[in-house]
Amino acid sequence: MTTRNTITVISLLTLLAAPLAAQVAIKGGRVHTVSGDVIENGVVVITDGRIVAVGPADGVSIPAGHRVLEGAVVTPGLIDAHATVGLTGIYNQKQDQDQLESSEPIQPQLQATDAYNAREQLVDWIRSFGVTTVHTGHAPGELVSGQTAILKTRSGTVEDATVVGTAAIAVTLAESARKEGGKSPGNRSKMMAMLREALVAARDYVGKQERAGDDADKRPGLNLKNEALAGVLRGETPLLITANRAIDIASALRLAKEFEVRLWLDGAAEAYLLIDEIKAAGVPVIVHPLMQRPWGEAENLSYETPAKLRAAGIPIALQSGFEGYVPKVRVVLFEAAIAAANGLGMEGALRAITLDAATLLGIEERVGSLEVGKDGDVAIYDGDPFEYTSHCVGVVIDGQVVFEGSR
């Protein structure tokens, strides 16, 4: 083959491998912007991956060359506020289960992005229901199980998918993190003591770094655990504390106040017993999956918890969550449907998996609503998204059509 032909073949392969131009327009019978009014017979225009126009069809021009998709209902791409998808795989076998490392109880240095598989079929599955962004990572089950990350559900590399590389440090104040046979932590007081010890050690580490300044000889040796927790102490990284019993929720609030750190409550099955305390602390809640089995520490869960917390002015978001049995990963769309039917209403439930979730996670400037300048993430349905007879018929991420069909 000649050099010229070789270059031609390479150029063609490069073109085929490159993503299609992110130019698309979506027409909807009802367009839920979430941040504003519902638009009847609306249009969303995405150019170069960003939303450039949203409005009534008779007032928005679709540029030439834009691919046009249509559906009965159009929403922002859905956001799953806490999952393990991408670390948890579809086969539920050892080779695709990286969500939990149980060799030691405190492991804040474990990075979710090191284990996230952007090509995992389970990521494809939830994407086909309209989920375009996930806050995912190490599962509850160890006292400090690792870091979480925020990623788009697009296929490819983890670098392409990552929105926030380190979103939170996952902590578990629950029975699943307690050990038997004389191993630590064996009870609640030991769990709290170990957390305090880890945060104090990290605080001392930060203090030594600050005192050393630019003097490399005086700086402490790099410690990955302390580095991860230093971000918590500096207010850069919140603690995502999974706690369901009221006693454990109270402990999480107390720990956050003691060390003046940011806290995201996760699960919180008995949060309705501590509404005043949670509100006073200014702490948001990522409410447990509504269809979680009500047993063990979640035995007192309520379908009405999201509505009660929202009514009290507490920021909430919904999640697909994690449980140790098959299928381990749910679809947050279905969880929101249950919340909608139990006091949150359609608009409230949609906010809980779009703009409210984005705001809680600190990514509202990019996703969560259909607004000019935001990422071109859109979900398209053939009816009410929370009605079980409806289907997701299209999904767009950053202006790329990543799903078409009927799910």
How does strand 78-83 pair with strand 131-137?
Answer: parallel
| Residue linked to tokens 């969880």 | 335
Where does residue 296 fall: left (phi above 0), alpha (psi -120 to 50 degrees), or beta otherwise?
Answer: left
**pTM over 0.75, yes/no:** yes
Contacts of 12 (CB under 8 A, 6+ apart): none
Yes or no: say if 129 and 393 are a contact pair by the CB < 8 Å rule. no
User: Sheet holding 23-32: strands in order across?
Assistant: 50-56, 38-47, 23-32, 67-76, 378-381, 392-397, 400-404
DSSP 86-114: TTB-TT-SGGGB-S---S-SB-TT--GGG
Domains plus CATH for the chain?
A: 3-76+371-404 (2.30.40.10), 78-361 (3.20.20.140)
Per-residue pLDDT of the chain (407 residues; tens, 9 = 90+): 444 444 444 344 333 334 455 899 999 999 999 999 999 999 999 999 999 999 999 999 999 999 999 999 999 999 999 999 999 999 888 889 999 999 999 999 999 999 999 999 999 999 999 999 999 999 999 999 999 999 999 989 999 999 999 999 999 999 999 999 999 999 999 999 999 999 999 999 999 999 999 888 889 999 999 999 999 999 999 999 999 999 999 999 999 999 999 999 999 999 999 999 999 999 999 999 999 999 999 999 999 999 999 999 999 999 999 987 776 789 999 999 999 999 999 999 999 999 999 999 999 999 999 999 999 999 999 999 999 999 999 999 999 999 998 88
Backbone angles phi, psi at 81, to 5 degrees: -75, -15
Beta strands 285-287 and 263-267, pairing class: parallel
- Give the model's pLDDT for residue 9: 41
Amino acid in position 195: L
pLDDT of residue 93: 86
- Residue 343: name the closest of 305, 298, 388, 369 by CA: 305
The answer to whether the beta carbons of residues 379 and 77 sit under 8 Å apart is yes
* Separation of CA 150 from chain center: 6
Instruction: Say what the pLDDT of residue 21 is.
Output: 52
Q: How far is Cα 175 from Cα 197, in angstroms, rounded to an integer? A: 20
pLDDT of residue 13: 39
DSSP string of 6-57, one letter each residue: HHHHHHHHHHHHSPPP-EEEEEEEEEE-SSS-EEEEEEEEEETTEEEEEEEG
Alpha-carbon distance of 398 to 160, in angstroms, equals 11
| Cα 149 from Cα 123, distance rounded (Å) | 14
Residue 313 backbone class (left: φ over 0; alpha: ψ -120 to 50; beta: rest): left
Closest-CA residue to 387 (of 348, 354, 341, 355): 341
Note the pLDDT of residue 328.
Answer: 77
- How far apart are the C-alpha atoms of 293 and 130, rounded to whole Å? 24
